[in-house]
Amino acid sequence: MNDAKYFLHTTVFVYAFDPSAGEKHHIAKALVKRALQDGLGVISFQVIQEFCSAVRRKFASAFLPQDLRQYVAEVLAPLCQVQSSIHLYHSCLDICQLTGYSFYDSLILAAAASAGCKTLLTEDLQAGQTVAGVQIVNPF
């Protein structure tokens, strides 16, 4: 990665916590570490919400509320640069109409664009496609 901002999708954080994800786990851990070190990694409030929901569902016994609170404070909060707004929702709806992506996938793209990110790191969307100035890259 160069000196351009990049957006990390929720699955990056879920894989970073899940050793059973194999190689994806190692790649995700490296991506999160790099994002915290280089200051170029970005997430939105939505990523925090989705991550908290996913890990409480998938890893409930391993991720107690105090552990989750600590992870949010130390890892997710420093990366969170995009909050909810009416403008963000309007951009999301434009992306929905343009791409046919789901509301939540479009909201991730809208957040990435609003933060000035050049790439979105995800395996959930069509790699290589550029939407709203954001190129979708599958890091796995």
Q: 80 vs 48, 70, 83, 91, CA distance in Å?
A: 8, 15, 8, 18
- The pTM (predicted TM-score) of the whole model is 0.93
From 41, 64, 39, 48, select the one nearest 14 (Cα to Cα).
Answer: 48
Quick check: 55 and 17 in contact, CB under 8 A? yes
From 140, 99, 110, 91, select the one nearest 46 (Cα to Cα).
Answer: 110
The pLDDT tens digits for 79-136 are: 999 999 999 999 999 999 999 999 999 999 999 999 999 999 999 999 999 999 999 9
| Overall fold of domain 6-137 | Rossmann fold (3.40.50)
